[in-house]
């Protein structure tokens, strides 16, 4: 019962490098989202998707791109990493059926930008 | 402007006693609230939720109370156990039909044996 799987778990980048954080879910959930957690800031929404081919911006989208080509996968791309993007990133998913549903989270990717 | 506020960054409670974690919100359109628990190096885990049509929801040792007039909710854990030591987040979607969650900053609960 995998749920939401995030890879990698840890990553160190240099300023200006690019990378993709992977997120996959096996629950056939329509809704997927990316959050970042910074000390004392709680979780802030970066981007979200309500289905394949549909994405939208959250509270803090600048510097990040997303795409949703399949129901299962929702990768987050950093095109040119900046030290301000040092954070812990969480992917989450939920069903859109039957009213509000709790979101299921992955275990996070810890990203450091030097 | 923070729409979901958890004003206590930390709380310490003796094992066996009651833990009360508080959350305030500013948006009267919020009609569904969730509590998540987070251990270090893990993702948040859903704990309990409440709809605005209720004022209480109970699940085992965990009870959430909602006071709509005060725009306040609280999570009660009775009895508290050392395994409950974690960061607790209050969250809400911005309105009916929305799925994005707005999170509070969290309260770190320490249950002392």
Q: Does A94 touch chain B (CB under 8 A)?
A: yes
Q: Does B101 touch chain A (CB under 8 A)?
A: yes
Residue of B nearest to A100 (CA): B99
Peptide bond into A8 cis (omega under 30): yes
Q: Does the beta-carbon distance from B42 to A108 stay under 8 Å?
A: yes
Chain A to chain B Cβ contacts (< 8 Å): 56
Distance from CA of B101 to the nearest CA of A (A): 8
Confidence of residue B58 (pLDDT cuts 50, 70, 90): very high
DSSP B101: -
Q: Does B3 touch chain A (CB under 8 A)?
A: no
User: Cβ contacts (< 8 Å) between A50 and chain B: which residues?
Assistant: 99
Q: What's the confidence (pLDDT) of residue B1?
A: 67
Which of B43, B93, B96 would you mutate first to test chain A, the one with the most A CBs within 10 A? B43
User: Cβ contacts (< 8 Å) between B21 and chain A: which residues?
Assistant: none
φ, ψ (nearest 5 deg) of residue A99: 85, -170
User: Cβ contacts (< 8 Å) between B102 and chain A: which residues?
Assistant: 45
At a CB cut-off of 8 Å and minimum separation 6, what does B84 contact? B19, B37, B77, B109, B111
Per-residue tens of pLDDT for chain A, all 114 residues: 679 999 999 999 999 999 999 999 999 999 999 999 998 888 999 999 999 999 999 999 999 999 999 999 999 999 999 999 999 999 999 998 877 788 999 999 999 999
* Max intra-chain CA distance, chain A: 44
Distance from CA of B49 to the nearest CA of A (A): 8
Condensed to tens digits (0 to 9), the pLDDT of residues B8-46 reads 999 999 999 999 999 999 988 888 999 999 999 999 999
One-character DSSP codes across B74-101: EEEESS--GGG-EEEEEEE-SSTT----
């Amino acid at each position: 019962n995998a749920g939401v799987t995030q890879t990698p778990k840890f990553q160190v980048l240099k300023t200006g490098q690019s990378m993709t954080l992977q997120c996959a879910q096996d629950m056939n959930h329509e809704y997927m989202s990316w959050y970042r957690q910074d000390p004392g800031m709680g979780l802030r929404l970066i981007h979200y998707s309500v289905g394949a081919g549909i994405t939208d911006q959250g509270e803090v989208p600048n510097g990040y791109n997303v795409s949703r080509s399949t129901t299962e996968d929702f990768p987050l791309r950093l095109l040119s990493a900046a030290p301000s993007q040092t954070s812990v990133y969480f992917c989450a998913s939920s069903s859109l059926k039957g009213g509000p549903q709790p979101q299921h989270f992955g275990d996070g990717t810890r990203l450091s930008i030097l | 402007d923070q729409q979901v506020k958890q004003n206590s960054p930390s709380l310490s409670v003796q094992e066996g006693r009651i833990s009360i974690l508080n959350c305030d919100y500013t948006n009267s359109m919020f009609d569904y609230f969730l509590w998540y628990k987070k251990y270090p190096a893990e993702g948040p885990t859903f704990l309990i939720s409440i709809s605005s049509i209720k004022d209480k929801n109970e699940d085992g040792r965990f009870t959430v109370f909602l006071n709509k007039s005060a725009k306040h909710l609280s999570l009660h854990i009775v009895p508290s156990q050392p395994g409950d030591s974690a960061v607790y987040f209050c969250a809400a979607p911005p309105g009916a039909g929305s799925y994005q969650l707005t999170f509070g900053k969290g309260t770190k609960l320490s249950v002392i044996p």
